[in-house]
Amino acid sequence: MLMATITISLTAFSQIDTNRICFPKITAKKIAKDLLAYDSLKYEHYYLKSNYDLLYATSLNKDSIILLKDSSTKVSKLKIYELNSIIGYKDSQISEYKYIVNETNKDLEKETRKNSLLKKGIIASIVLIIFAYITN
């Protein structure tokens, strides 16, 4: 019994060196169809993966451009804020200078009037002295 089992199992698992595999025609057609489908799916997978990689790289590029634009926009807004604060400071300086110029012009007008009166007084005094000298 043991011997019969060993003999049957040896022949069941023995391999014959052939270049030919025998399948029924229907099975062979199904195998060929599956192999063709597998090859086309493998090509389609490669094609879709390469397209996906290309689209992903493009989206990363666009994202980096958007980030650069956002950061340059933030920098521009910061520069605008700084320039507006400088403009505000310069406007206050201009207002101060206008006030100083107006005060200086008022002081100049006062001094001009004083000098004018002083000149008129000196001229009147000289005329009076000459008149007094002549009449004496």
In a domain, 127, yes or no: yes
Number of domains composing the chain: 1
In a domain? residue 2: no
In SS3 terms, the chain reads as CHHHHHHHHHHHCCCCCCCCCCCCHHHHHHHHHHHHHHHHHHHHHHHHHHHHHHHHHHHHHHHHHHHHHHHHHHHHHHHHHHHHHHHHHHHHHHHHHHHHHHHHHHHHHHHHHHHHHHHHHHHHHHHHHHHHHHHC
Split at pLDDT 50, 70, 90, the class of 7 is low
Has residue 82 got a pLDDT over 70? Answer: yes
pLDDT in tens, 85-133: 999 999 999 999 999 999 999 999 988 888 888 888 888 888 888 888 8
Report the predicted TM-score, pTM, of the whole model to 2 decimal places.
Answer: 0.42
Percent of the chain with pLDDT strictly greater than 70: 85
What pLDDT score does 90 carry? 93
Range of the domain at 86: 23-135
